[in-house]
């Protein structure tokens, strides 16, 4: 296989195989010589090296020919590698920082939405609460009795809960309030150990039989004092104290009620 020498007009370099020539700084004007050739020829004149010149745009050198070839033979590689790395790093950095900016923007928008939503939610909760309170009234119902019994039953089950500073249990016209989610009773002392605040729907109270009243009162007191949530409204939970549809408990007995709160208290 032919080995080629190249020259920049001042010095000659080589010999290079055709493969090695690929890595040399070659322009259309680069002169080449190999054994058998009478004189230096421009690389474009050598059919054997056509593939090298076909990728060089006419009139444009890959590198300035003013620099000595030997020097540029190594430098382009390292420089370009280094440059490429730094370009890649910059691109990556830009990508990351723009991605970061987007992430921050999306986060801020989400946060604003959450705050806006929760403040609207809060306001509507406050409005609902105010309406419930405005529709509540003092009655002769002995709600204290349920509270005292509830604490006694807790104690028997080995659950100690301190008595709250404030206890408000009133009837209210819950069924006449728009957007009221709890028709029969609602507790506002959830997660506040210093306070019991429960509103019972007046017409519900009138309608409910004795076991149902106990179910309802213990249900709301469990929300309020034990901070437990409603169970899912599925048939498997029917009969439980925290079942959300206590109004369907018409046929339940006091024994059913006792069983239901014992099964809840036992979980503690
Ligand atoms: Zn409930």
Ranges of each domain in the chain: 4-67, 82-134, 137-265
Architecture of domain 137-265: 2-Layer Sandwich (3.30)
Q: How high is the pLDDT of residue 119?
A: 84
Mean pLDDT across the stretch 166-171? 95
pLDDT at 120 over 90: no
Point out the least confidently predicted range of 66-70, 162-166, 194-198, 226-230: 66-70
- Collect all residues with Cβ–Cβ distance below 8 Å to 31 and sequence separation of at least 6: 6, 7, 9, 40, 41, 42, 43
Tokens of 261: 């709160």
Rounded to whole angstroms, the Cα distance separating 21 from 70 reads: 13
What average pLDDT is seen over the chain? 85
Mean pLDDT across the stretch 17-36? 82
Encode pLDDT of 91-117 as tens digits: 677 777 888 888 888 888 888 888 888
> How far, in Å, from the CA of 180 to the mean position of ligand 1?
13
Rounded to whole angstroms, the Cα distance separating 193 from 134 reads: 24
Residue 90 pLDDT class (50, 70, 90 cuts): low
Point out the least confidently predicted range of 39-48, 71-80, 225-234: 71-80
Which one has a higher pLDDT value, 183 or 242?
Answer: 242
> How far, in Å, from the CA of 206 to the mean position of ligand 1?
19
> How far, in Å, from the CA of 165 to the mean position of ligand 1?
23
> How far, in Å, from the CA of 109 to the mean position of ligand 1?
34
Say whether 170 sits in a helix, a strand or coil.
strand
Between the two ends of the chain, the Cα-to-Cα distance in Å is: 90
> How far, in Å, from the CA of 190 to the mean position of ligand 1?
11
Residue 193: asked if its preceding bond is cis (omega within 30°), the reply is no
pLDDT at 138 over 80: yes
Q: How high is the pLDDT of residue 73?
A: 46
> How far, in Å, from the CA of 242 to the mean position of ligand 1?
6
- Collect all residues with Cβ–Cβ distance below 8 Å to 111 and sequence separation of at least 6: none
Q: Where are the alpha helices (DSSP H) in the chain?
A: 18-22, 50-53, 69-134, 143-156, 202-207, 210-226, 254-265
Residue 65 CB coordination number (10 Å): 15
> How far, in Å, from the CA of 218 to the mean position of ligand 1?
10
> How far, in Å, from the CA of 249 to the mean position of ligand 1?
14
> How far, in Å, from the CA of 2 to the mean position of ligand 1?
93
Percent of the chain with pLDDT over 70: 87
Instruction: Give the dihedral of Cα atoms 260, 266, 267, 268; nearest 10 deg.
Output: 120
Mean pLDDT across the stretch 119-148? 92
Q: How high is the pLDDT of residue 248?
A: 95
């Amino acid at each position: 296989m032919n080995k080629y020498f190249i020259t920049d007009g001042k010095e000659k370099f080589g010999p290079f195989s055709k493969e090695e020539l690929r890595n040399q700084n070659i322009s259309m004007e680069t002169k080449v010589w190999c054994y058998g050739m009478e004189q230096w020829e421009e690389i474009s004149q050598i059919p054997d090296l056509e593939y090298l010149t076909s990728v060089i745009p006419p009139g444009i050198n890959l590198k300035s020919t003013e620099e000595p070839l030997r020097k540029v033979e190594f430098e382009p590689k390292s420089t370009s590698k280094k440059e490429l790395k730094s370009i890649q790093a910059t691109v990556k950095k830009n990508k990351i920082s723009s991605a970061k900016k987007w992430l921050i923007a999306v986060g801020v928008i989400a946060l604003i939405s959450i705050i806006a939503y929760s403040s609207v939610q809060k306001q509507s909760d406050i409005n609902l609460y105010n309406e419930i309170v405005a529709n509540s009234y003092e009655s002769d119902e002995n709600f204290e009795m349920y509270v005292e019994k509830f604490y006694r039953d807790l104690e028997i089950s080995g659950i100690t809960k301190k008595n709250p500073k404030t206890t408000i249990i009133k009837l209210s016209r819950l069924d006449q309030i728009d957007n009221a989610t709890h028709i029969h009773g609602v507790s506002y002392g959830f997660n506040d150990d210093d306070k019991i605040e429960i509103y019972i729907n007046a017409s519900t109270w009138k309608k409910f039989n004795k076991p149902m009243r106990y179910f309802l009162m213990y249900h709301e007191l469990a929300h309020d004092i034990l901070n437990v949530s409603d169970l899912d409204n599925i048939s498997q939970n029917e009969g439980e104290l925290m079942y959300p549809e206590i109004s369907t408990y018409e046929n339940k007995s006091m024994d059913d009620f006792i069983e239901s709160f014992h099964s809840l208290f036992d979980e503690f």
